[in-house]
């Protein structure tokens, strides 16, 4: 394989590894809400990754020296998939989430030691710094892609909800806003028609065109 093609593959591997690493951080608030996790429990889930990652850095480099970077990175990629699937199936079990994140850290630990080993064998000394810089730069790209994907998905969800609210209003199930005569404030009454409003107490306002 040509040296710079190898560097491109290693950079893509670094990007993929960081996508798997930071996806929970980006979705952390939603995960806490859906699974009913406290901030302390979520912090433990985040930290579990770092435990496995730190402990297996040196063993990961030793594996790369013994078996070669391509083989070790292939094994690592399969392990990422397995750990991510474990995390998806863990549900609200904090113990299962901790185990899955720790396993992901173990699986990702050989990534950069193996990349450095591959670069040292494939490129001359004068080009190794540039090659390592490209691989490290790919880390930030993975984080940016994950955050951008979250932004786009949130925007799409907001547009879908807005469209649903608009068409529901046109169908007569839209927003109802009441002006309370005693307080002068606004009170939202969603998904009901303006029927039987007591005008002595409040003035009902509905979407134009809604019967």
Residue 62 three-state SS: helix
Residue 163 lies in a domain: no
Residue 102 lies in a domain: yes
User: Which pLDDT belongs to residue 196?
Assistant: 41
Residue 169 lies in a domain: no
Name the domain count of the chain.
2
140 and 190 share one domain: no
Angle subtended by helix axes 39-55 and 57-67, to nearest 10: 40
19 and 119 share one domain: yes
112 and 196 share one domain: no
Residue 131 lies in a domain: yes
User: Which pLDDT belongs to residue 172?
Assistant: 54
Residue 124 lies in a domain: yes
User: Which pLDDT belongs to residue 21?
Assistant: 80
- Whether the CB-CB separation of 119 and 7 falls below 8 Å is answered with yes
User: Which pLDDT belongs to residue 167?
Assistant: 57
Residue 143 lies in a domain: yes
Q: What is the pLDDT along the chain (211 residues), one digit of tens a residue?
A: 688 888 898 888 888 888 878 777 777 777 788 788 888 888 888 899 999 999 999 999 999 999 998 899 989 989 988 888 888 777 667 888 889 899 999 999 999 999 999 998 888 999 989 998 998 888 777 667 655 555 455 555 556 556 656 556 656 554 444 444 444 444 444 444 433 444 333 334 444 444 4
User: Which pLDDT belongs to residue 146?
Assistant: 59
38 and 139 share one domain: yes
Residue 22 lies in a domain: yes
40 and 98 share one domain: yes
β-pairing, 202-206 vs 186-190, is unpaired
User: Which pLDDT belongs to residue 166?
Assistant: 54
Find the domain containing 201 and state its range.
174-206
Q: What are the b/e assignments for 120-138, b being 16+ CB within 10 Å?
A: eebbeeeeeeebbeebeeb
CATH number for the domain including 74?
1.20.1250.20
108 and 180 share one domain: no
How many Å apart are CA 71 and CA 190, to the nearest integer? Answer: 58
Residue 24 lies in a domain: yes
141 and 59 share one domain: yes
151 and 102 share one domain: yes
User: Which pLDDT belongs to residue 168?
Assistant: 61
User: Which pLDDT belongs to residue 176?
Assistant: 46
């Amino acid at each position: 394989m040509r040296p710079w093609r190898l560097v491109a593959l290693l950079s893509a591997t670094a990007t993929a590894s960081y996508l798997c690493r930071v996806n929970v951080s980006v979705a952390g608030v939603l995960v806490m809400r859906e699974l009913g996790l406290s901030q302390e429990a979520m912090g433990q889930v985040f930290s579990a990754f770092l435990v496995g990652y730190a402990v297996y850095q040196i063993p990961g480099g030793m594996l790369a020296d013994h078996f070669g970077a391509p083989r070790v990175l292939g094994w690592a990629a399969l392990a990422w998939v397995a750990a991510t699937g474990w995390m998806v199936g863990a549900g609200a079990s904090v113990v299962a989430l901790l185990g899955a994140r720790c396993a992901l850290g173990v699986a990702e630990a050989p990534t950069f030691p193996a990349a450095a080993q591959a670069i040292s064998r494939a490129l001359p000394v004068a080009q190794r710094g540039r090659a390592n810089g490209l691989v490290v730069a790919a880390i930030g790209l993975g984080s940016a892609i994950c955050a951008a994907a979250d932004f786009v998905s949130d925007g799409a969800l907001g547009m879908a909800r807005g469209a649903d609210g608009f068409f529901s209003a046109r169908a007569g199930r839209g927003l109802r806003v009441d002006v309370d005569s005693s307080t002068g404030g606004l009170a939202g009454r969603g998904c009901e028609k303006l029927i039987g409003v007591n005008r002595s107490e409040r003035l009902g306002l509905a979407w134009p065109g809604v019967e």
